[in-house]
Amino acid sequence: MSPAPTVGELAHLVRSKNAGPFWQTLDVFLDDDASYRAVAEAPAIDPAVIGPLYRVDPASVRIFRLPSIRVVKISFPRRATQGGIADRDMHAGQQHVPLARLRLDATAP
Amino acid sequence: MADAKVLVPAGMLGAGFTEQSIRNGIALGADAIAIDGGSTDSGPYYLGSASPKMPPEAIAADLRLMIVHGMAAGIPVIVGSAGTSGTDAGVDWVAGIVEQIAAEEGLVLRLARIYSELSADVLGPVLDAGGIRPLPPAGDLTRATLDRCEHIVGLLGAEPFGAALEAGADVIVAGRATDTAVIAAYPLLHGCPPGPSWHAAKTAECGGQCTTNPRGGGVLVAIDDDGFTVVPLEDDSACTPMSVAAHMIYENADPNVMREPSGTLDVTDARYEALDHRRVRVTGSTFTPQPYTTKLEGSGIVGYQSIALAGIKDEEVLADIGTWADSLRDYVAFKAEDLLGLTADEAHIEVRCYGWNAVLGDIDPDTGPPREVGAVLIVTAADPATATKGVTLANPYLLHMPLPDMDHLPSFAFLSSPAEIPRGPLYEFLLQHVVAAEQAGNLARTEITEVGR
């Protein structure tokens, strides 16, 4: 059996950005309803998976499923405040990559 | 029937737009031109140092088009978050550019300056009275944190803009405001319902971002009693229900609700329909008034940084780059303490390997050896001289650090001579808190003067 697809393989676009200096948000855009459902209903789209993936508290992870625009949105507080001594990504614009590489059947470690 | 049309030429003052897009918006019946001049998105330096991120020429080029066409059409021009971070210095800087344009164009303008910078001295008693509370993920504010801020601003809502418009302002230059307040102010003043007014403002706040061609100029939002319509300003640009609905999620942690000083916008039940191939109609957005709050932003100095960069192409080193970076960091830290007496608290030393895991750190999904690495040595200390001394002390090790089992000293590719690059102060955002208006009163200060000719 071939491995489950990744979020990035099904998505039209996966992007990340600051939502203010203390939060970051990841947006997954899907082109059709079938791929939207595959991602929105995937076991991997769960705070128990996303939290460890980004090394943040799963309780702080907010997941929004927006079928009308075929978007799955994930927001959580930044580990490092924007621009602070530990920050590696001023605009949080490259934080989508771990999510894009995540396989849809991933489960909590 | 209430009706107001706001022209938003671009997502940020200084980003640039065409003269034709302004002409198109005015031909569509624009009642006001509104634009946002900044945000926190460029980082804590701009607020901490009260300096703008854009050159004055870029600000002046955009302002000139808005002011010349706005005055000819008899409609006001509204600018928020002036000078990137919206400090008092930012307001005065942009207002000075407006004065210069007025003089050059032979215009006489009523210019409103709305200031929203605050100080620890003003906020201290409010904090003591329990008038400041944290937003997640922040904890309770302390007076010590307030005192650490070099600059503090309070985000303006629509109200002070409305008051300045009522006072006859032709041009408003305001300090830090919500991106939406500059756009929502005119329709709210003219009786448009708050749900559509705020949702229209959120839709238009990034200019063309809500169109199918985000680089293709701004939009006009037409708000009325039942909803609003979005129209792109460039002839070759279009809005679709998808492009408009999708913008609500941009840079917003929650895609359905957005808090403003005077209440909360909720677009959960909003409906988006195409009026034709390029205009979109939006209805069903609601706004719930809440006790007035002002969100604070503050930035302070963490320390002073100096850096140096060495390029690495040696395959043997790249194959074990993690070990190399750790041993360099540890050795520089040892030398800093041994020779300079700097403890880990007094000198923060880090090696970031661009090309390997500098961007994602310990969440990087890639494991294989990199093709090339730019190793950046970063020293942060209490003063600039100490930070630079830390980097100069490390110079031979950054240049020659071998792997533990190497029998020779490699030499890496330095970026520059001198290798050390003083970066100046490192700022950090320190506030994620709101002030309750009942404890703080009106925090905005408005001055209206006649300028030009």
**ipTM of predicted assembly, 2 dp:** 0.95
Those of residues 239-268 in B touching chain A at CB distance below 8 A are 242, 245-246, 249-256
Cα separation, B397 vs B341, in Å, equals 18
End-to-end CA distance of chain A: 22
End-to-end CA distance of chain B: 38
CA distance A53 to chain B (A): 7
Q: Tell me: pLDDT of B217 over 90.
A: no
A22 contact B CB<8A = yes
- Binary contact (A89, B359; C-beta < 8 A): yes
> Of all helices (H) and strands (E), which one includes residue B109?
strand B108-115
CA distance B54 to chain A (A): 17
* Confidence label for B438 from pLDDT (cuts 50, 70 and 90): confident
* Confidence label for B437 from pLDDT (cuts 50, 70 and 90): confident
Cα separation, B345 vs B338, in Å, equals 14
Smallest Cβ–Cβ distance between B361 and the set A69, A81, A88 belongs to A88
* Confidence label for B58 from pLDDT (cuts 50, 70 and 90): very high
* Confidence label for A104 from pLDDT (cuts 50, 70 and 90): very high
Cβ(B195)–Cβ(B205) under 8 Å? no
Those of residues 79-108 in A touching chain B at CB distance below 8 A are 81-85, 88-91, 94-95, 97-98, 101
Q: Pick the residue from chain A with its C-alpha nearest to B268.
A: A66
Which tokens hold the place of B208?
């063309």
Instruction: Give me the mean pLDDT over the B215-241 stretch.
Output: 94
Q: What are phi and psi of A2, to 5 degrees?
A: -75, 150
CB < 8 Å to A81, chain B: 428-429
Listed as own residue / partner, the contacts of B97-102 with beta carbons closer than 8 Å and 24 or more positions apart are: B97/B56, B97/B59, B97/B60, B97/B63, B98/B63, B98/B67, B98/B171, B98/B173, B98/B451, B99/B451, B99/B452, B100/B60, B101/B60, B101/B63, B101/B64, B101/B67, B101/B68, B102/B67, B102/B451, B102/B452, B102/B453
CA distances from residue B288 to A95, B203, B260, B268 in whole angstroms, order as listed:
33, 18, 10, 13
| Average pLDDT of chain B to the nearest whole number | 96
Q: How many CB pairs under 8 A join A and B?
A: 102
pLDDT at B113 (0 to 100): 98
Q: What are phi and psi of B234, to 5 degrees?
A: -90, 140
Of B87, B76, B86, B119, nearest to B448 by C-alpha is B76
Smallest Cβ–Cβ distance between B429 and the set A66, A69, A81 belongs to A81
Q: Tell me: pLDDT of B398 over 80.
A: yes
Instruction: Give me the mean pLDDT over the B72-95 stretch.
Output: 98
pLDDT at B213 (0 to 100): 85
pLDDT at B442 (0 to 100): 79
Smallest Cβ–Cβ distance between A62 and the set B250, B253, B380 belongs to B253
Those of residues 344-383 in B touching chain A at CB distance below 8 A are 348, 352, 358-365, 380
B194 contact A CB<8A = no
pLDDT at B409 (0 to 100): 96
CB < 8 Å to A62, chain B: 253-254
What 3 state SS string does B192-216 have? CCHHHHHHHHHHHCCHHHHCCCCCC
CA distance B426 to chain A (A): 7
Q: What are phi and psi of B25, to 5 degrees?
A: -65, -40
CB < 8 Å to B426, chain A: 85
CB < 8 Å to B246, chain A: 29, 69, 71
At B180, is the secondary structure helix, strand, or coil?
coil
* Confidence label for B176 from pLDDT (cuts 50, 70 and 90): very high
What is the 8-class DSSP label of residue B29? T
- Binary contact (B40, A21; C-beta < 8 A): yes
* Confidence label for B150 from pLDDT (cuts 50, 70 and 90): very high
Q: Which residues pair with A74 in a beta bridge?
A: A26, A63
Q: Tell me: pLDDT of A1 over 80.
A: no
Cβ(B38)–Cβ(B84) under 8 Å? yes
Say if strands B413-414 and B445-452 run parallel, antiparallel, or are unpaired. unpaired
pLDDT at B124 (0 to 100): 96
pLDDT at B16 (0 to 100): 95
- Binary contact (B249, A27; C-beta < 8 A): yes
Smallest Cβ–Cβ distance between A82 and the set B44, B135, B380 belongs to B44
Cα separation, B130 vs B128, in Å, equals 5
pLDDT at B55 (0 to 100): 97
Structure confidence by residue, pLDDT tens digits, B345-397: 999 999 999 999 999 999 999 988 999 999 999 999 999 999 999 999 999 99
Q: Pick the residue from chain B with its C-alpha nearest to A24.
A: B253
> Largest alpha-carbon pair distance within chain B?
84
Residues 6+ apart with CB under 8 A from A40: A65, A67, A72
Q: Tell me: pLDDT of B453 over 80.
A: no
pLDDT at B49 (0 to 100): 98
Cβ(B348)–Cβ(A85) under 8 Å? yes
* Confidence label for A86 from pLDDT (cuts 50, 70 and 90): very high
* Confidence label for A11 from pLDDT (cuts 50, 70 and 90): very high
Please state, for a pLDDT cut of 70, what percent of chain B lies above it: 100
Smallest Cβ–Cβ distance between B429 and the set A60, A77, A82 belongs to A82
CA distance A108 to chain B (A): 15
Q: What are phi and psi of B84, to 5 degrees?
A: 80, -55
